[in-house]
Amino acid sequence: MTLSASRIVSFLGSVDCIRQPGAALGLILSGRTADHPGERTTLAFSGGAPADLPDVLEAATVDSLQPGSYRIASAGREWHVAAAASHLHRDIGADFYRALPPRPVPLKKRLFWRAVLALAARPWGLRLLLALRR
């Protein structure tokens, strides 16, 4: 019987392998991918890590062999992971904030906070602010 592998992710360069025995996500792979090199990608498994998996892999690929069975390949070696599920996450924060720049802070609010911080920087100003808070 031949297993049909489905590629989940192809990492570029160094991939960190984080083991969390007893946790819901027992193995986490973290690195950059060919598809999105500017974003940190994390692949977490709902299962334990293989005992002989190193702490760092180079150019690793991860394939889903069948439900609950995954293969991690790197540098001519491969490891099999039995996990209920895998969870792929990409850090899209940079793209998000490029698309939606923050709105400018209104002048009154900037002046208010500048005054509060200037008062808080002096002992007498801090006492005044604490008195006003009561």
Q: List the domain range (segments joined by +) for residue 118.
A: 105-133
Residue 17: burial class (beta carbons within 10 Å; 0-12, 13-18, 19+): buried
With tokens 């991918």, the residue in question is 33
- Domain match, 50 and 114 both: no
In the chain, which residues have pLDDT < 50?
A: 1
User: What is the model's pTM?
Assistant: 0.68
Report how far residue 20's alpha carbon sits from residue 24's, in angstroms, rounded to the nearest whole number.
Answer: 8
Total domain count for the chain?
Answer: 2
Identify the pLDDT of residue 74: 93
pLDDT digits (tens, 9 = 90+) for 76-113: 899 999 999 999 999 888 888 889 888 899 999 999 99
1 in a structural domain: no
- Domain match, 85 and 129 both: no
